[in-house]
């Protein structure tokens, strides 16, 4: 690959699977570096300690360095690779911040001292990011049953009339023959 001395090439598929297996049993391999973090040693040069860079990389089978350290060690990158790795790093960093951002929006929405417009904007941002934005179609299935109240009232009045006529008939004494 034309890499400088000491610069690590991307992992092979077998190395990557072996590292993932080691991650499944962390108590046995606690001293192993994280394969999804940049392998650049950020410890001071005069120490023999290995301090792995904190930047998370998307796929160590493509590159093992973050963009900053890839430039430092002289890792050869094409413009297309640089663009792809920049997008990957940005996506991972933003995903890492998303839980804090949602927590902040929650605090703002629940803060009674915050202006109503700010609370509404926070709620809108949360809904937009979950896919429930104003431009999304909202389909609601509704069934309506039409009831003729006039007919119900007529039926009840007729039932009441029949009931009252039956009572009146029973209360009248039978007619005596003349």
- Per the structure, the count of domains in the chain is 1
Which tens digits make up the pLDDT trace of 15-46? 988 888 887 776 666 667 788 889 898 888 88
Which tens digits make up the pLDDT trace of 101-148? 878 888 888 888 888 888 788 877 777 777 666 665 656 677 777 888
- Domain with 44 in it: 1-77
Residue 169 placed within a domain:
no
Residue 126 placed within a domain:
no
Residue 9 placed within a domain:
yes
Residue 14 placed within a domain:
yes
Residue 18 placed within a domain:
yes
Residue 145 zone, left/alpha/beta (φ > 0; ψ -120 to 50; rest)? beta
- The pTM assigned to this predicted structure is 0.55
The angle subtended at Cα 52 by Cα 58 and Cα 76, nearest 5°, is: 55
């Amino acid at each position: 690959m034309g890499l400088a001395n000491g610069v690590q090439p991307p992992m092979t598929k077998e190395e990557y699977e072996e590292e993932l297996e080691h991650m499944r049993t962390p108590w046995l391999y606690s001293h192993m570096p994280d394969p999804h973090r940049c392998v650049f040693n950020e410890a001071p040069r005069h120490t023999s300690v290995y301090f792995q860079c904190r930047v998370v990389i998307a796929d160590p089978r493509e590159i093992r360095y973050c963009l900053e350290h890839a430039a430092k060690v002289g890792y050869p990158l094409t413009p297309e690779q640089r663009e792809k790795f920049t997008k990957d790093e940005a996506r991972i960093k933003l995903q890492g911040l998303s839980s804090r951002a949602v927590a902040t929006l929650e605090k703002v929405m629940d803060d009674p001292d915050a202006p109503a417009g700010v609370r509404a904007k926070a709620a809108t941002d949360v809904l937009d990011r979950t896919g429930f934005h104003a431009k999304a179609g909202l389909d609601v299935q509704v069934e309506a049953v039409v009831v003729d109240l006039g007919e119900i009232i007529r039926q009840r009045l007729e039932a009441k009339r029949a009931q009252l006529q039956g009572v009146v008939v029973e209360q009248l004494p039978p007619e005596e023959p003349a």
